[in-house]
Structure 1
Amino acid sequence: MPRPATPANPTSSAPQCVMLLRAINVGKRQLPMAALRELAGTLGFAHARTHLASGNLVAQVSGASDAAAKRLEQAITEHFGFHSDVIVRSADQWLRYLADNPFAKASAAEPNRVMLLLAKQAPAAQAAARLSERAVAGERIQAVRDGLWIHFPEGLGTSKLTPNLIDKSVGAPATARNWRTMQALAQMLSA
């Protein structure tokens, strides 16, 4: 990976945020997490840490989250040759998501089958209803704040809720993280 110029001194007092990359490490869209952490550092994101290989980044970021997302998207395109949407949420927003989980009982029993779906913008008003029309096998969808919670009691393998259908219903590219990953990211925020 070519090295970008070293940024001005990042400040450790910048607020923490969670950055979710969409659709990486599938097919030719490979982005090693060590390279992502290094890239984040060159952009001035302090204390960059990753979780799993699916594009979960926690860092301290100065300035607006939209601007940080655009900078990271542009850097990924320049250095890795593909576009990945980046969705940014503050530490406070992330912790509110955990507190707002409408499927708490299912999350405790099946943490990998409850997902929070997020996009750069709030989902379209009827997104949950549109997705519920296509739900199968007891799937439940609920809108809370700017996210959609989905419980997949039979797992993702049998679901009719495809990424294209989700994006169309939401009105923007979206990405999801399961309850287990959400908790791990919250722990990283508090470390």
Structure 2
Amino acid sequence: MTRRIHLVRAINVGGTAKLPMATWREIAASLGATEISTYIASGNLICVPPGDPNEFDCALEQAVEERCGFFREVVSRSREEVAAALAAHPFEVVRADFSHITFLSAEPTADAIAKARTFETGDDRWEVVGREMHIRYADGAGRPQMKDASIGRALGVAGTARNLNTVQKLLDLTA
């Protein structure tokens, strides 16, 4: 097996869903992962999973819920998939921290994308490419003009976003 990038959604933000990275690494190790590392406190785990990556993602979700008391989705990709997602980013990158890739658990349906398109975005932009939603915030993610949570719900699949700086660093760490 090769190292994969596992991303947990919505932890360590706003004082809720605390998941220390040491705990995140311990959980992965307890499930049989090897070559484990984390990057920053937003739930980025790099490891070699034991066996099927999708089953490992589900096991991580269950272990986080059992150990920490909350459920959070885990989405993983191979290094090649993350590199392809970065290469497919459809927007001009003015600032890498204003551009994000949301790694989705599945590809949204055409109907779900059409429903999501009904939301106003102001100067913010988004586009779905396969299993990723690419975003460029005009004023940064902290001051979105679009209702990104509503768009995400309309897409009907779970996902977790990382800015392009983080995406590039995760690629560097898996090189």
For the criterion TM > 0.5, the same-fold answer is yes
Match of 1:144 among 129, 139, 153: 129
Work out the CA distance in 1 between the residues paired with 2:38 and 2:102.
19
The C-alpha deviation readout for 1:95-126, integer Å capped at 9, x for no partner, is: 111221212x31xx300111111221112224
Match of 2:9 in 1: 22
Work out the CA distance in 1 between the residues paired with 2:64 and 2:151.
24
Work out the CA distance in 1 between the residues paired with 2:130 and 2:20.
32
Work out the CA distance in 2 between the residues paired with 1:22 and 1:123.
17
The TM-score, its normalising length taken from structure 1, stands at 0.83
Closer, same or farther in 2 for the Cα pair 1:146/1:28, shift >3 Å? Answer: closer
1:86 deviates by 0.4
Q: Does 1:134 align with 2:85?
A: no
Q: Could you tell me which runs of 5 or more consecutive residues in structure 2 were left unpaired when the two chains were aligned.
A: none
Larger radius of gyration: 1
Work out the CA distance in 1 between the residues paired with 2:112 and 2:36.
33
Match of 2:108 in 1: 123
Letter in 2 for 1:178: N
Work out the CA distance in 2 between the residues paired with 1:100 and 1:116.
10
Match of 1:158 among 136, 141, 144: 144
The TM-score, its normalising length taken from structure 2, stands at 0.90
Work out the CA distance in 2 between the residues paired with 1:188 and 1:135.
36
Q: Does 1:183 align with 2:171?
A: no
Verify the 8 A CA contact 2:124 2:146 in the aligned structure 1: no
Closer, same or farther in 2 for the Cα pair 1:162/1:140, shift >3 Å? Answer: closer
Work out the CA distance in 2 between the residues paired with 1:166 and 1:61.
31
Closer, same or farther in 2 for the Cα pair 1:53/1:24, shift >3 Å? Answer: same
1:131 deviates by 3.7
Work out the CA distance in 2 between the residues paired with 1:16 and 1:167.
28
Work out the CA distance in 1 between the residues paired with 2:61 and 2:83.
24
RMSD of the alignment, in Å? 1.7
Work out the CA distance in 2 between the residues paired with 1:151 and 1:126.
22
Q: Could you tell me which runs of 5 or more consecutive residues in structure 1 were left unpaired when the two chains were aligned.
A: 1-13
Q: Does 1:44 align with 2:27?
A: no
Report the number of matched residues.
173
Would you identify which runs of 4 or more consecutive aligned residues in structure 1 move more than 4 Å? 126-129
1:158 deviates by 3.4
